[in-house]
Amino acid sequence: MIDYMKEAIKEAIKAGKKGEIPVGAVIVYNGKIIARGRNKREKTQNALLHAEIVAINKACKKLHSWRLENADIYVTLEPCPMCAGAISNARIKRVFYSASDNSDSREIIDKIFSSTRLNHKVELIQGEYQTESSKLLSDFFKSKRLSRKNKNAV
Amino acid sequence: MIDYMKEAIKEAIKAGKKGEIPVGAVIVYNGKIIARGRNKREKTQNALLHAEIVAINKACKKLHSWRLENADIYVTLEPCPMCAGAISNARIKRVFYSASDNSDSREIIDKIFSSTRLNHKVELIQGEYQTESSKLLSDFFKSKRLSRKNKNAV
């Protein structure tokens, strides 16, 4: 059986190697991964290109539909409000996330996923590999701080 | 002086003519319109392509930056949570909207715009042409209902 969160982590690692905040996502439909995404904000200089957005974009193209009903998304970090809104607009059924975001956005995404606006509720589930996904992020920020410190010391 | 909301309404009208929910947006930077967007969800079958997202995408490309600091967005309908999240992520300064959304999402977007997550607050202001923008939407939905009714009668 495919370990979907592990596949999302592979995407996060690729993002980190390109100098992006390491977040990855996959969209699963009928037991198959139909789209993969990783954070591309810095390289593209596009505020929209979080891992989830990249994956939703591809999934809509793949299914020729803006309705991703019965699809699930696996993402290595709890979604931000933009991505939570996109997941809800795309009628995705369930979100499995790995690392927690630890900001005040949890209350916001809970409200987005339970909103009556669209007659669609999204289920939010914390999945596996929390330590791995969090470590990817903390290592990334640690190396960024270190590289800034070294630059300033020159 | 350019009437920015009027320009956003022109985009909304174009969207309606293409069979899309008529919503339009423009992004203003240093007094100039740097990006225009209109809702393209149905034609592209892409859940992401609301007017604001189309415009932010273009504005990031134009400025070669994901940071749209000091830019304002004019949109004919109060943003949904996805678009509010995108506006906040792109560090847009002010949102001028025309028609109200009348759903439970107002509380959500207020929370997104005042969130401490990004160290960035967005100002939300109801602008002019509320009647015009609302009428565009209500006429669109009325004609959709009528066309469904006629189809069912055949």
Mean pLDDT per 10-residue interval, chain A, length 154 residues = 94 97 98 98 98 98 98 98 98 98 92 93 96 97 88 77
Strands of the A24-29 sheet, one edge to the other: A32-38, A24-29, A72-77, A94-99, A123-126
**Do B54 and B87 contact (CB within 8 A), yes or no?**
no
A 40-99 residues with CB < 8 A to B: 41-42, 44-48, 50, 53, 56-57, 60-61, 64-68, 80-86, 88-91
The predicted model gives B63-92 an average pLDDT of: 98
* A64/B48 touch (CB, cutoff 8 Å), yes or no: no
| Cβ contact B84–A80 (<8 Å) | no
What pLDDT shows up at residue B154?
Answer: 67
Residue of B50, B66, B112 lying closest to A47 (CB–CB):
B66
Q: Match 């690392």 to its residue by tokens.
A: A99
Residue A2 is predicted with a pLDDT of 87
- Kindly report, residue by residue over B113-136, the tens digit of the pLDDT: 999 999 899 999 999 999 999 999
- Count of CB atoms situated within 10 Å of the CB of A15: 26
Which residues on A lie below 8 Å from B105 (Cβ)?
115, 117
* Average pLDDT for B42-68: 98
Question: pLDDT tens for residues A22-46?
Answer: 999 999 999 999 999 999 999 999 9
**Global confidence as pTM:** 0.95
Helix (H/G/I), strand (E/B), else coil: B5: helix
**CB-based contact A104 B116, cutoff 8 Å:** yes
Residue B52 designated active-site:
yes
B107 and chain A in contact, CB less than 8 A:
yes
- The structure tokens listed for A102 are 């630890």
